[in-house]
Structure formats: C-alpha cells, structure tokens
Structure 1
C-alpha cells in the first residue's frame, strides 16, 4: 500500500441521504467525485426508515418548521438554516427525480407510492449520470500518511482528496453503518465533539403485572404535554416501556428531564369530563364509571397505573384524566434510538460546515450537533446539511476545469 495514495478531486464518505446530497452538489458543480460507503449497498438506514412509508418532509411555514430543530448548531447564526433546503426545496428536488408526492392531513409529505426505493433508484441513476463513482464495502479506517485509509475487499487503500465531505452518521443503528468509529480520529485532530445521546427513542417503564396484557397495543386519541410542546401522535406499550411516533416527537425534552403529562381526553374540556363522570349512576363501580367516560380499557389501565391511588371526587378525577403524569425511568439505549443528539460541535465548524481544525474537510448529517423529531424534520435536516457541505466543498475547489 502506497502512503502517497490515490489522488482524487472530491471524496464523500458515507452514502446516506446527507452524503448522497453532498455528492450530487459536488458533481453538479462539475467535479469528479468518489463516494465511499462501508456497507454493501448505499442508504440502508434511509431504506429501513422508508419501509412503513417514506416521510420526506413536513409542509409547514419555515419558522414553525425550524422551531422543531434543537441542539447547539441550530442556535448559531448562519446555521445550515434550511437556507439550503427547506420543505419546499425538498419537495421540488424529489419531483425532479420523477417522484410524485402527496401531503397528508397532518402536513407530512410522502411519495405517492410511499416507498423509499424508487426515489433512491432515481437518485443513484442521477449520480451515475453526473459521473459519481460509488465504491461500496469501502470502510474508512482513519488517517494515514497524509491521506485517508480504507479497508476494502481488495485490501487497504489510501485516498488523497482535495476536499472531503464526511457523512458517517451518528451512533445509532450501528448494524446499518452508523457506529461512530470516526469520533476518536477527529478528536485526535482537534475537532470538538459533544457526547452522543439517544434521540427519537422510546422510554423505559417497569409495568405492573396487570399492564402486561396491553403490551403491543397502540394508545390512540391522547395528547402528551412536555415543556410547552403538545404531541397528538399514537404511541405503543411494549415489554420494556413506551415507543412510537407520539413519543419520539417529544423525546428530546423528556430525555432532558421535562415532566410529561398525558391528556386522556384532549378534545373534551376538564369541566365537561367532570360532568360526564357525575352523570354515571352512583351504583356503578369506579371501574365502570371510568370505562364509560374514557371509552377505552387501555386508557383506564394507564390512569390506574400512573395515577393511583385515584382521587375520590369527580373534579379531581377529571383533573387527573386531563393531566396524567407520564412516569418513565429514562430513555431506552442509544442502540435502539432512531437518531442521536450530540456530535461535532458548532464551535468546530464554519458556516459552510467546514471543520476548522481540518481545512478542506466538511461534515454533514447526524455527525453534527443537532437533533430533530421524525415526521420529515430529521430527513430534511440531513438533506439540507448535505447540500450545504457539498456546495461549500465545491466552492473551495473553485470552478471545474474544462472537460470535466
């Protein structure tokens, strides 16, 4: 293996959404791009996330959209800021790949066919047309001799790119390629990195024996209030706790210690709940009264699990139904999380996502210190940061030579 390595113009490491977008922008600017991916095929996490329906983005006002992003990076001036790729740009980009879209009643945007694979096929075809060279089973193994060394099926290889975009993911879903192996290599080069935490994850609950018969059942028709944010999505009871979209969208403030409360009857005012309780004949047992008012055995079980001992008066019971403490024991492990918080810190980056300690190196996607809920926000953030990093890298290279 030569320490001089193979010269190349632009290198992108990681073929998830952020890396693919960075490669597209570099190639669109006329530069020759090598796209290195550790797994046998690209965008595995993207395809996995799209199995139940690929939620590309969320159609809502940009200010409201951006309010759902948190972490150190979104608080900095000039943050990828969705200046590169917000909801409208994501929709236009997907349509440019020949993907028809529809917007659901909640504003979530999906491909008409719901699946991720047609979009990915169109995207890869576009990249091939731009001349992007995809090298799979090329796992980055760190720096060596002024270059970047890769473990490949043909043995170790070293590349010496003029610019590099790192899009290696965070620390969740390691079996799909995001294993955070890059962290010590960048730290050794002086890149500040905040410790990873789980994001978009479930929470641990030690259920009592009577609750076990409800495991696997969805909780519908509730609202969860956490730190001034309200979620109306469904969630599921599992053997280990609670999971599902209705939990994931609120997982950041819950993880950080904000109290959570469940409104079991979000469309009914508290006074009306008390009246409905009072209208049930006095001869009815407490259990029957609750079943008649709540209309759902699972809601009754949750009320008893998290609210006991139950109050005696209708007014107090109504108050508990409208603000039931959601009692959990902390987030499930990072290996179970959909995404992560933490990563390369804002101080380590320029506005164009170039690493201050490594000129010519850019970073995008979940490597960066930001987080967003599922529901289109997370994927849009990855696409936007990939576009920002790719365009910044292209600017650093300058105009492509004639004949590229």
Structure 2
C-alpha cells in the first residue's frame, strides 16, 4: 500500500546505475517515476564496463573498503554502510545474476557480462511501471519546471521531486559529458581526470616503438603507497590499474610541483638480494640484454627501460637496485575524456546529508555527479549504487515531510 494519498511524481535525469537504482527503489515505494536520458539507450557506461567482466564491487572487509574513497570517505560512508557490497551482490543475484569473488577480491557476475543483468533490471523497472524517455537532453529549469531538448522539440516536466544522476565528465560518447556543470556552476568543483593514464618524460621514439606493450605484474610506489598490476604503454604514455590507484596523489603532485616521480619495481616478487644472486649467476661474457632476459625473464621493453636508467658500466648491484626502484618521471595526465572516471562535481557543502542540493529544494543528486573518486576494483559502481539509493531515500523522506506538513 502506498504511503501517499496520490502517487508523487519523481523525475530522474540520467539512466546509469545510480539513476536506475534510485528509480527501482522509489517506484517500489509508491512513487510514479520517469527517467530522462539524453542518449538513445540506457546504461551505456555500464555496458562498456561489462566488456571487461563487469566488476560490480569488492569483497574486502567494509572497514578497509571505505578507505578507498579517500577524502570523501566520511561523506560517503553512511550511504556505503546502508548499502554495502554484500547488499549489491544480493541484489544482482536476486535479478538472476549469481556472482563470484575473484582471487583479487573483486566481485563479478558469473556471466562476466553486463547485458544479462541490465535486461533483467529493465524488465523489473517495466513491471514497476517506470517510464524511460530517451533522447531527452536536460537543458535546465524554468522556475521549478524541468526543460528538455528532444528530436521532436522542447519538452517540459514538472515533478514533485528530482534526482540528478548525469555522471561525470569522462567518456562523453557514452553520455557522461559533464555539460550539466554549467547549470550548477556555483555548486560544482572543477572536473579532473581520475583512474587515468599519465605522460612520462619518455621520447616519442620510445613510445612509438613500444606502443601497446604491457609491463606485466609490476609494482609501483609513490609517497609510501604501493600498488601492483599491469602497465600498458600507449601512444600518449602509461595506463593501467597499478597507476590508476595512485592517480589522485599523482595528479595533485603534478599540479603542485610540475612533475611526479614514481618508482617502478619490475620484479616485485623478488627481493633485491635474490635478484642480485640471479644476475651474478649469469655468464659475464654474455650481453647485458641476454643476462637480464635469463635472470629475470624481462621482455625487450623492460630491458630497454632498465638499461636506459642505469650507467653503461653499471655493476650488478646497481642493475638490481634499479630493477626494484626504476624511476619514472610523470609530467601530466591523459585527457579528461579518456579517464575511466573523474574527480570534481557537486561539492559536499552544496548538498545536505540526504544528497539534496541546498540551493534547489526537492532536487537531489547521486553517482559520479558528486565530488568523489575511488580506484577501479568495484569501488566506482558501488559508490554509484549506494549514493543512488541514499538520494532515493532522501527523496522519499522529503516527499513524506511534504505530505505531513512538516516541511
């Protein structure tokens, strides 16, 4: 039974995970929900994430999980605790998509695809009479009325409450173009690339020759923080999960100092002493390239990096020391639109604890529109789902207070 005399109308702008999840909750709690999406179809960034397996969330202990949100941890913790990783996994399984945890702790649907989950999700929303209107680009407000541009011309809508879930400012071809920031400039922190690639001070010739090559299972360290993973050399520089996890600190250091130097460990499973013994066991008459290949199974890219970072007459001790701490100076980030996610967006001080925009009563926000960032590994999607639910609960409370005359 609905808690309202008449079903209130809620407009959700943006049909990504945050918007769809908010719609599911509100429609199940007596609201008449309409979703407006500027793209021709919904969930495009979710489907893109599914190409690499759809990493929904992470199975590490919640206390550790919360720290992944950095400066936004205290802000987002209530939402994440109210809808934690276990709840997201249960939700996916309730849609008929059983999940598993990989060796790294990352949680995936067993299908390793986004499309089956999205189909089941949209079917549930249809059963709950959620209306989805695509090709509706939000252009702002006329008083309290929402304005949209569509292929058929301008459209307006006057709901009882609104949730904005229009994403960040990366992957604009999927719909997250960040243009909404012009409508809320006073409440928005500038966008910056997160989980992004970086530009090293390598020659164009080196990048051209090694583009597409991967440095497998390497370690990185910066300001006493260490990560592990693969690094891919691109035409523009370096990218990969090991680098993404350091992106916030690296971005800030480059902005502050003009560059940042990371230390690359080409063989993180070997101690320096063990590496030295391996190198000394090689025949000294062989070429340096052969000794490095045989001692450490280094490919041509890694061997060239190591040779370039050490003197021509380097001793075995110098070589193994550099093998474990090879310096790479980064001078910039890759472009904003190529970043996996973005920092910046609606500031915490612009919203109340229920994610309502203080300057616009009845208008809430969720997902990557908010000014937070987290590494890859399931933290991004979890943040979108959790804040989507928190904003939906905020809407419901705001509508109930309106009905009861408290507001």
Indicate the residue corresponding to 1:203 in structure 2: 198
| CA distance 1:210–1:333, shift in 2 (3 Å) | closer
2-side partners of 1:124 and 1:229: how far apart?
Answer: 41
CA contact (8 A) 2:40 2:135 kept: yes
Q: Classify the secondary structure of the residue corresponding to 1:225.
A: strand
Shift of 1:310: 5.5
The correspondence for 1:286, drawn from 285, 288, 298, is 288
Shift of 1:216: 0.9
- Residue 168 in 1 paired to residue 170 in 2? no
Indicate the residue corresponding to 2:85 in structure 1: 87
User: Which whole-Å deviations, capped at 9, do the CAs of 1:4-33 have from their partners, x for residues lacking one?
Assistant: xxx971110000011111111111211111
Shift of 1:131: 1.4
Q: Classify the secondary structure of the residue corresponding to 1:373.
A: coil
- TM-score scaled by length of structure 2: 0.90
2-side partners of 1:21 and 1:291: how far apart?
Answer: 51
The correspondence for 1:221, drawn from 212, 217, 220, is 217
CA contact (8 A) 1:199 1:341 kept: yes
Shift of 1:57: 0.7
Indicate the residue corresponding to 2:30 in structure 1: 30
| CA distance 1:196–1:80, shift in 2 (3 Å) | farther
| CA distance 1:176–1:211, shift in 2 (3 Å) | closer
Shift of 1:326: 2.2
Indicate the residue corresponding to 1:3 in structure 2: none
2-side partners of 1:377 and 1:104: how far apart?
Answer: 15
- TM-score scaled by length of structure 1: 0.91
CA contact (8 A) 1:235 1:242 kept: yes
The correspondence for 2:266, drawn from 264, 267, 280, is 264
The correspondence for 1:380, drawn from 376, 379, 382, is 382
Indicate the residue corresponding to 1:150 in structure 2: 148
Q: How many residues were matched structurally?
A: 389
| CA distance 1:211–1:239, shift in 2 (3 Å) | closer
Indicate the residue corresponding to 1:276 in structure 2: 278
The correspondence for 1:246, drawn from 238, 242, 247, is 242
1-side partners of 2:141 and 2:401: how far apart?
Answer: 28
| CA distance 1:342–1:211, shift in 2 (3 Å) | closer
Indicate the residue corresponding to 2:303 in structure 1: 300
CA contact (8 A) 2:16 2:46 kept: yes
Shift of 1:208: 5.2
| CA distance 1:112–1:400, shift in 2 (3 Å) | farther
Q: Classify the secondary structure of the residue corresponding to 2:268.
A: coil
Shift of 1:79: 4.3
2-side partners of 1:148 and 1:210: how far apart?
Answer: 52
| CA distance 1:310–1:134, shift in 2 (3 Å) | farther
Shift of 1:80: 4.3
Alignment of 1:5-404 (within 5 A): 9-71=9-71, 73-76=72-75, 79-187=77-185, 191-205=186-200, 206-207=202-203, 209-210=205-206, 212-257=208-253, 259-297=261-299, 298-305=301-308, 307-309=309-311, 312-398=314-400
Q: Classify the secondary structure of the residue corresponding to 2:170.
A: coil
CA contact (8 A) 1:199 1:337 kept: yes
Indicate the residue corresponding to 2:4 in structure 1: none
Q: Classify the secondary structure of the residue corresponding to 1:230.
A: strand
2-side partners of 1:212 and 1:308: how far apart?
Answer: 22
RMSD in angstroms over aligned alpha carbons? 2.0
1-side partners of 2:122 and 2:91: how far apart?
Answer: 14
Shift of 1:209: 2.8
Structure with a larger share of its residues in helix: 2
2-side partners of 1:67 and 1:161: how far apart?
Answer: 37
Q: Which has the larger displacement, 157-166 or 80-89?
A: 80-89
Shift of 1:120: 0.5
2-side partners of 1:124 and 1:400: how far apart?
Answer: 30
CA contact (8 A) 1:10 1:32 kept: yes
Shift of 1:313: 2.4
Q: Classify the secondary structure of the residue corresponding to 2:132.
A: strand
Q: Classify the secondary structure of the residue corresponding to 1:99.
A: coil
Shift of 1:275: 2.0
| CA distance 1:270–1:346, shift in 2 (3 Å) | same
